[in-house]
Amino acid sequence: MRFFLRSRQFKIILSIFCAVVLLTVTAVIIGKRMSPQTDIAAAIAAPFRNLFTNVSNVVTDFFDSYNNGSKLSLENAELKSEIDALRQKVADYEEITEQNSFYKDYLGIKESHPDFVFTDATLISRDQDDPYGSFTINKGSASGISKYDPVITDAGIVGYITEVGLISCKVTTILSPDITLGALDNRTHDSGIVTGALSFANKNLCQFANLSRSCNVAVGDYVITSGEGIFPEGLLIGSVYNIGIDENNNSIYAEIKPFAEISELRSVMVITSFEGQGGISVEGGK
């Protein structure tokens, strides 16, 4: 409103209004002085009175419209506030539902591995310069997390902790060649190591290497941790996607598609303690 009162349009309307009032008053005064000729005075004043009435009606209509517009604006603001509140309730509901599903999945892991101690965490950033998909989580040493602690989801292995801060940690994924873990084919029990390589990481794969040429590993087999190294035994890693021959040592290797979707992770669990924890083997691979 205060912006309109300072506007050029308002000043023009006000000037016209004042001129009409002045002319009307002048006509009335003249009419009084010309009492014998009141009809003439009335005739002179009539157009100005009509003009005054029209201008007055326009001004009144304008302020009525402005007031109605202000009322509508207020109602719209109130409706927007209510919509925002409803949207927040929906978002809160979806978050609670997701968390319930998240913890339900881990209860199954906990039942299978009662010795596991978990700390849940949320991704807060990804290293865009790392082709192996490393990321940072919102928990650190203050939550009992230590370097080399395994990181998982309900689907399977994600990686391990490589840098620890008080309230955040960096996670290196199983797509990285910096990680090596003992693994088994769940069907044949053929053993090898799972590690990463750039040629595989570009396809969101890692490799199951150092397999015997006489192994019976087949496409579609599940690969699990053997318990050698920093990861506990029996955790899912991924499925065999393809099989090839390593030309360097004539051994068999398999391409593994991790069960955990590394590029789509939002929440993870860090295993801060488990039976047999302590054996460390993290560097190797290609």
Cα(55)–Cα(27) distance, integer angstroms:
17
Along the 286 residues of the chain, how does pLDDT read in single tens digits?
555 556 666 666 667 667 666 666 565 555 555 444 445 555 555 555 565 566 556 556 655 555 566 666 667 777 777 777 766 666 555 544 454 455 555 556 666 667 788 889 999 999 999 999 999 999 999 999 999 999 999 889 999 999 999 999 999 999 999 999 999 999 999 999 999 999 999 899 999 998 988 889 999 999 999 988 789 888 999 999 999 887 777 778 999 999 999 989 999 999 998 876 765 445 444 3
CATH superfamily for domain 117-273: Rod shape-determining protein MreC, domain 2 (2.40.10.350)
CA 216, 218, 224, 230 torsion-angle sign: positive
CA distances from 56 to 11, 24, 41, 235 (A): 15, 13, 22, 84
In angstroms, how far is CA 92 from the centroid of its own chain?
A: 13
Q: What pLDDT is recorded for position 83?
A: 76
Q: What pLDDT is recorded for position 100?
A: 47
Q: What pLDDT is recorded for position 122?
A: 93
Place of tokens 């082709």: 131
Q: What pLDDT is recorded for position 106?
A: 58
The full set of domain ranges for the chain reads: 1-112, 117-273
Type of residue at 43: A
Task: Tokens for 122, please give them.
Answer: 């949320």
Phi, psi angle pair for 132, to nearest 5°: -100, 5
Rg (CA), the chain: 39
Q: What pLDDT is recorded for position 284?
A: 46
Cα(282)–Cα(6) distance, integer angstroms:
73
Indicate the pTM of the whole model.
Answer: 0.61
186, 221 Cβ separation under 8 angstroms: yes
Cα(45)–Cα(24) distance, integer angstroms:
6
Q: Which residues contact 34 (CB under 8 A, 6 or more apart)?
A: 40, 41
Cα(27)–Cα(43) distance, integer angstroms:
9
